[in-house]
Structure 1
Amino acid sequence: MNSRVIILKTDEEIEFMREANRLVGMTLGELSKHIRPGITTLELDRIGEEFIRDHGAVPTFLGYGGFPNSLCTSVNENVVHGIPNNKPLQEGDIISIDCGTKLRGFCGDSAYTFCVGEVSEEVKKLLRITKESLYKGIEQAKEGNRIGDIGSAVQTWCEKHGYSVVRELVGHGIGREMHEAPEVPNYGRRGIGPLIRNGMCIAIEPMINMGGKKVVFENDGWTVRTKDRKPSAHFEHTVAIRNGKADILSTFEFIQENN
């Protein structure tokens, strides 16, 4: 793929993408029923993969670049790309679950950071501000704006509350492939970057740290954690630009039904 070419989608293609993304939302909702102290991320991975396949789709993460599982499960200081394992979740943990599906040739991608049991107010605030920053970014995803407007909105909101934005990992275009052009950073300046046009489909995914912005890439080749080992939060929606503004294709409604 030529990384500079942004593929605009037709209305019909966007509806296919909505189906794939709705299934991601349903999967995250199903997983939310099982998140509690004592469950392992490997068990969650099994539940997620089974749910996706039962609904006629395939998990896009499985085998992607050699990734060994269907979900990315990132606990506490792990920012993204955590590999599911047999370590039980503990009371007070947070876990980001990033999930992708492919259905009828199109991809869905969304992430949500969950609380495990009772979590400290300090950590709850990090989750709240990160989730709010996702919607601040989405507000800027409109025709005529630039990609930099999205990142600027996310960065401004999070830094105003004393948090830091990861630089090494960014959102992305999405369609028939899980990662397409353009890259969508969670930082930047207004008025720079590719022009946002109708038919553009992008995954916006703030990755926000309680401490410093620096991250470490672990030896497993996947897991990214905060250098200072302070907690990190991650929320992601896939959106399509239609009629000049963002149409959110993924959904958190199934999570909210269970909480």
Structure 2
Amino acid sequence: MGFGTSLSHARPLQLSSSLYGEALSSSSSSSLFMGGPFAASVPFTLTGNKLHFRKLVVVSKRISGLEEAMRIQRQKELREKRTFRRRIPLRRGRVSPRLPVPDHIPKPPYLSSTSLPELSSEHQIHDSEGISRMKAACELAARVLDYAGTLVRPSVTTNEIDKAVHQMIIEAGAYPSPLGYGGFPKSVCTSVNECMCHGIPDSRQLQDGDIINIDVTVYFNGYHGDTSKTFLCGNVTDGLKRLVRVTEECMERGIACCKDGASFKKIGKRISEHAEKFGFGVVERFVGHGVGTVFHSEPVILHHRNDKSGHMVEGQTFTIEPILTIGSTECITWSDNWTTVTADGFPAAQFEHTILITRTGAEVLTKY
């Protein structure tokens, strides 16, 4: 996409001037900066019987409206980045012990090991019964995420959010999928500011102006429902609000191109096109994935431009979950082997839905 029509040149927008002779007073000079380029005679002085004129020469340069808009946008982005740099970098807080899950709740098979499971080659394609169970798991995940978002406010700790999410999931008879997955110690991921993803809930209090991604996955009746959203905490800057808004729009554009027979590479193309219009980077390291009876499986969903082969199939379920950054898309993973932050410390945002491929499009199973 883009702007197909050319922009006409507007009135002069940049002025440079040279002043000869004595300086003009503000009252006499103010009326000269109107209209196009000119050279004008201005008030004079009288020495004896001779008049001495002072000349003001104004030279204008005509630039397009698009060039001016781009210049203003670049200046605004620089101001925003300077603001972001002043925020206190994330620091690891205290991580409380793992929360218990009642024995009667069915548990996913990966809990038998603390090793990170390999990506399954099994595509998640469902019959009518499987689709019904997927919808139930995803609907629960969406309700839990919506509830978690109501807890976001300054002074609340991410550990408190984890406890509330854990309790709601087990009360519904489901298992919090992240808990124990590859040794992950909590029931939800909470990624604040420059944390791209996989943030571990801890004792850190949310601050006014933070953004936080909450990633909820539940295991219910043998199926995983997976979703995430970036929430605003208190008074958030316009620049951060734009990052969050555009990230959600990128996810929606990725979903909009999905249907039976569509190529997977269209998703990354649509997301990249929209992110680039706003100057945001698309993280390549983290991807979407098949989800269903297995937490993470093929197909791998790339959110950036790519040449990935393969096509979508009716009845298939997978996630689309782009991460956008204001600065670099490079990342650093902390020593806990989970928490991943942007290399330059600038904020990142993420949104995620689980979708079902239909003959004519895609059904979002994890609506907020």
TM-score computed with the length of structure 2 as normaliser: 0.67
Compute the displacement of 1:4 (Å).
Answer: 3.7
Equivalenced residues, count:
251
The residue number in structure 2 matching 1:74 is: 191
SS at match of 1:26: helix
Compute the displacement of 1:65 (Å).
Answer: 0.4
Q: Which has the higher contact order (CA 8 A, sep 6+)?
A: 1
Segments of structure 1 that go 5 or more residues without pairing to the other structure are 253-259
Question: CA offsets, 1:4-57, max 9 Å, x none?
Answer: 442311122112111111111111111122110000000000000000111111
The residue number in structure 2 matching 1:166 is: 283
- 1: distance between equivalents of 2:343 and 2:270? 24
The residue number in structure 2 matching 1:135 is: 252
User: Identity over aligned residues, as a percent?
Assistant: 37
Question: CA offsets, 1:138-170, max 9 Å, x none?
Answer: 011111111111111111111121000111110
Amino acid of the structure 2 residue aligned with 1:147: F
Question: CA offsets, 1:97-136, max 9 Å, x none?
Answer: 0010011000000000000011000000000000000010
Maintained 8 Å contact 2:290/2:297: yes
Amino acid of the structure 2 residue aligned with 1:153: R
- 2: distance between equivalents of 1:20 and 1:208? 27
Runs of 4+ in 1 over 3 A off after TM superposition: 1-5
Task: Identify which of 16, 22, 34 aligns with 2:151.
Answer: 34
Maintained 8 Å contact 1:148/1:193: yes
The residue number in structure 1 matching 2:318 is: 202
Amino acid of the structure 2 residue aligned with 1:238: T
The residue number in structure 1 matching 2:359 is: 243
Mapping of 1:97-176 within 5 angstroms?
97-176=214-293
Segments of structure 2 that go 5 or more residues without pairing to the other structure are 1-117
SS at match of 1:212: coil
The residue number in structure 1 matching 2:309 is: 193
Amino acid of the structure 2 residue aligned with 1:131: E
Amino acid of the structure 2 residue aligned with 1:221: N
Question: CA offsets, 1:168-197, max 9 Å, x none?
Answer: 11000001011011110111247x422111
The residue number in structure 2 matching 1:233 is: 349
1:94 lines up with 2:185 in the alignment: no
- 1: distance between equivalents of 2:315 and 2:212? 32
Amino acid of the structure 1 residue aligned with 2:349: A
Change (3 A) 1:90 1:49: same
- 1: distance between equivalents of 2:155 and 2:323? 26
Amino acid of the structure 2 residue aligned with 1:76: N
1:63 lines up with 2:180 in the alignment: yes
SS at match of 2:146: helix
Maintained 8 Å contact 2:178/2:187: yes
Q: Greater CA radius of gyration, 1 or 2?
A: 2
- 2: distance between equivalents of 1:66 and 1:2? 16
Amino acid of the structure 2 residue aligned with 1:27: V
